[in-house]
Amino acid sequence: MRTISVAQAKKFDRLAQEKLGIPSLILMENAGRGVAEEAIKMLRSRKRVAIVCGVGNNGGDGLVSARHLLNAGINVKVYLIGKASKLKPDPGTNLNILKRMKQKIVKLRSAKDLRDMRKSDLIIDAIFGIGLKSNVRSPMSEVIDIMNKSKRPLLSVDVPSGLDADTGKVLGVAVRARRTVTFV
């Protein structure tokens, strides 16, 4: 497998947008569709997915995947860590689309809000992306612990949340993903 650094990945995204004119919303759409396609492969005939989203672009990829999974007839439960008002513009656009589709979004305030997650056949980790450089703090650390203890297969977007994408070092706590979908 060929690897690239975080700086190289960010440069690729910037070049795609500036040199090729691909809007960041399209890059997010392609990433989210790829996550949904991998999730469907992992699900086989099962039909329940929990998607745990942060407020950055990684969370936006998770929100896009929710839409594609819903359109494929999958029962989706979306959990948002952080305030919707903190969402970057592209993830905010995708959150608004899901709301117009009448998809309920669970705003995580405590671990109790995750109790239904164990009913899922697959959990998608869209909390942190490649930019994480400091230890994971509460409440995200508790959410990651619950995900890891769920005994459900975990699919991570870009990199398992809690890992330094350049070094692979665990930053306090990290998702133990069965699979990770990456994009460049």
- As a three-state string, the secondary structure of 122-147 is EEEEECCCCCCCCCCCCCHHHHHHHH
**What pLDDT does residue 28 have?**
94
Torsion on CA atoms 94, 95, 98, 100, rounded to nearest 10: -100
> How many angstroms separate the CA atoms of 156 and 67, rounded?
17
**What pLDDT does residue 68 have?**
98
Q: Any idea what DSSP says for residue 119?
A: G
**What is the pTM for the complete model shown?**
0.94
Tokens of 91: 């993830």
> How many angstroms separate the CA atoms of 60 and 30, rounded?
11
Decide: 160 and 125 in contact? Cβ < 8 Å. Answer: yes
| Stretch (H or E) spanning 105 | strand 105-108
Decide: 90 and 60 in contact? Cβ < 8 Å. Answer: yes
> How many angstroms separate the CA atoms of 183 and 152, rounded?
24
Sign of the torsion angle spanned by Cα atoms 104, 69, 114, 142: negative
**What pLDDT does residue 1 have?**
66
**What pLDDT does residue 77 have?**
96
What residues contact 167, with CB distance under 8 A and at least 6 apart? none
**What pLDDT does residue 166 have?**
92
Give mean pLDDT in consecutive 10-residue pieces for the chain, a chain of 184 residues: 81 87 93 97 91 96 98 96 91 96 90 84 96 91 94 96 95 97 84
